Amino acid sequence: MTPSDRDATGLLTQSESTRADDFVQLVSPTGERRANAEFDPWITDVDPAALGRLYRDMAIVRRIDTEATALQRQGELGLWPPLAGQEAAQIGSGRALRDDDFIFSSYREHALAWCRGVEPAELLSVWRGSAASGWNPFEHGMAVPQIIIGAQALHATGYAMGAAWEGTDTAAIAYFGDGATSEGDVNEALVFAASFDAPVVFFCQNNQWAISEPVGLQSKQHLARRADGFGMPGVRVDGNDVLAVLAATRIALDRARRGAGPTFVEAVTYRMGPHTTADDPKRYRTDDELVEWGGRDPLARVLALLDASGVDIEGLQRDVTAEADRAAAELRAAVTTIADPAPLTVFDNVYAEPNSHLERQREHYTRYLAMFDTSSAEGSDAAASAPAEGDAR
């Protein structure tokens, strides 16, 4: 009953290529421009000046990321999930978006917040533990960060469905990681998006790791291949190549706007830092890997390409470094402007409408706080005078 020991092929199809470098690359790690007939037409507007601006974005967000990590080490932030290594994936896609497009991100997409003009204090307040979220999503076209892995993929899909039903050509974009592709929510989002031709881009940053788990544990297949089975195109790009990412995202957004439905973009990149400042990556990965990926740095290759294009990269670097330092200083300064929240604000915004139960709880807690202090508990500095654990009565 076993006629052969090799797999039947026929319709028992399974694609074979899982080579890591099997992706679209427009700029090599050493800065050579690789021609690509499909992708090149989408970035004809990117002249050296524009490329310089992409470099600037990446350099600044890298500096902001470093500064935020330092702030966490110094106790100013409770936690920080660094984006280091993923600058091209985030800036390349972020700069492809139109202002009216809506971003549903995970927790690591600080560069998207940068693209959307989120203020430093807005960016940090949630990581400082001072606020449930930093910015108003409707001011920046970007949802509050999502910690539940994959949940935002459905939100982006629903948003996109709504935008299409309204007859607009606005798109939504969902950011998630390689690990997230294992969650039901992401897969269900692909189902819904395909079914409703939703104008949504699924942007997967495959940074090789989900905390300590390598991407191979989530999938033995390229993640971009996931798309086809759900009825949408998938593309795998070098996520450390800002031009490839920009082009792929533009292609995907164009499809969305034309009513042609969703696209799945896998950006192959690497998380150079720890998962978060609470993580110790030495426990699960080798220095060799870091060195290898360090050689594929997203910024270095853009500089090399600019250099080859005749741009004065020393001047550029000088300017950008100064700008980045200013951004870092602003960040540091912003931390101190984030007020500690007043105690009774714990009750704010649980409901949009009056709620008898919560109002009673709030009233009771107000009375409780009043036992400790004669000054108002409502003031923003009231936290300082609230009871400390273990205070004698």
Partner 1 sequence: MTTLTLAKALNAGLRRALADDEKVVLMGEDIGTLGGVFRVTDGLKAEFGAKRVVDTPLSEAGIVGTAVGLAYRGFRPVVEIQFDGFIYPGFDQIVAQVAKLHYRSRGNVRMPITIRVPFGGGIGAAEHHSESPEAYFAHTAGLRVVACSNPADAYVMVRQAIASDDPVLFFEPKRRYHVKGEVDETASLADARPMGVATTVATGTHVTLVTYGALVQTARDAAVAAAEDGISIEVIDLRSLAPVDYATIEASVRRTGHLVVTHEAGQQGGVGAELAASITERCFEFLEAAPVRVTGHDIPYPPAKLERHHLPDLDRILDGVDRVLGRPNSLSGVEA
Per the annotation, the verdict on 275 as an active-site residue is yes
Are the C-beta atoms of residues 28 and 58 closer than 8 Å to each other? Answer: no
Q: Which residues contact 278 (CB under 8 A, 6 or more apart)?
A: 79
Q: List the single partner that 230 binds among Mg ion, partner 1, a second copy, none, CB under 5 to 8 Å by kind.
A: a second copy
Helix axes 242-257, 48-73, angle to 10 degrees: 100
Rounded CA gap, 169 and 100, in Å? 9
Per CB under 8 A, contacts with a second copy among 216-245 are 217-221, 224-237
Compose the 191-210 pattern: x for residues touching a second copy by CB under 8 A, - for all others. Answer: x--xx---------------
Choose, by CB under 6 A, the member of 50, 132, 191, 211 that binds ligand TPP.
211
Residue 227: φ, ψ to 5°: -60, -50
What is the rounded CA–CA span in Å between residue 95 and residue 116? Answer: 9
Residue whose beta carbon is closest to ligand TPP? 177
| Residues of this chain, 259-318, that bind a second copy according to CB under 8 A | 260, 263
Q: Check the CA dihedral 363-368-369-372 and report its sign.
A: positive
Q: Residue 108: name its binding partner from ligand TPP, partner 1, a second copy, none (Cβ under 5 to 8 Å by kind).
A: ligand TPP
Identified catalytic residue from 63, 116, 140, 271: 271
Residue 137 touches which member of partner 1, a second copy, ligand TPP, none, C-beta under 5-8 Å by kind: partner 1
Contact segment (CB under 8 A) with a second copy among 61-69, 115-123, 159-167, 250-258 equals 250-258
Q: Which of residues 129-148 bind ligand TPP (CB under 6 A)?
A: 147-148
User: Which one among 27, 42, 239, 277 touches a second copy, defined by CB under 8 A?
Assistant: 42
Q: Which residues contact 355 (CB under 8 A, 6 or more apart)?
A: none
Indicate the pairing of strand 263-268 with strand 209-210: unpaired
Q: Is the separation of the CB atoms in 300 and 238 below 8 Å?
A: no
Q: In angstroms, rounded to a whole number, what is the distance separating the alpha carbons of residues 149 and 70? A: 26
Which helix (H) or strand (E) segment holds residue 205: the answer is strand 200-206
Identified catalytic residue from 258, 284, 326, 360: 284
- The string of DSSP letters for 139-157 reads HHTBPPP--STTHHHHHHH
Other C-beta atoms lying within 10 Å of the C-beta of residue 177: 25
Catalytic annotation present for 271:
yes
Strands 172-177 and 102-104: parallel
Residue 185 near a second copy by CB under 8 A? yes
Nearer to partner 1, 39 or 127 (CB): 127
Smallest gap from Cβ 225 to a second copy, in A, equals: 5
178 binds ligand TPP (CB under 6 A): yes
Q: Assess 376 for contact with a second copy (CB under 8 A).
A: no
Q: CA angle, corner 176, sides to 171 and 178, nearest 5?
A: 135
Q: Are 44 and 53 in contact (CB under 8 A)?
A: no
From the candidates 116, 155, 226, 275, give the one annotated as an active-site residue.
275
Of 54-93, which residues contact ligand TPP (CB under 6 A)? none
Residues interacting with Mg ion, by CB under 5 A?
177-178, 207, 210
User: Helix 48-73 crosses helix 120-128 at what angle (to 10 degrees)?
Assistant: 30
Is 110 a residue of the active site?
no
Other CB atoms within 10 Å distance of the CB of residue 182: 15
Taking CB under 6 A as the rule, does residue 275 contact ligand TPP? yes
Which of Mg ion, a second copy, ligand TPP, none does residue 149 bind (CB under 5 to 8 Å by kind)?
ligand TPP
Near ligand TPP by CB under 6 A: residue from 24, 210, 265, 331: 210
- Is 271 among the residues that bind ligand TPP (CB under 6 A)? yes
Separation of alpha carbons 269 and 265, rounded Å = 12
Which residues have a catalytic role annotated?
271, 275, 284
Residues that bind a second copy (CB under 8 A): 1-5, 7-15, 23-24, 36-39, 41-42, 44-45, 181-185, 187-188, 191, 194-195, 217-221, 224-237, 250-251, 254-255, 258, 260, 263
Binding interface with ligand TPP (CB under 6 A): 108, 147-149, 176-180, 207, 209-211, 271, 275
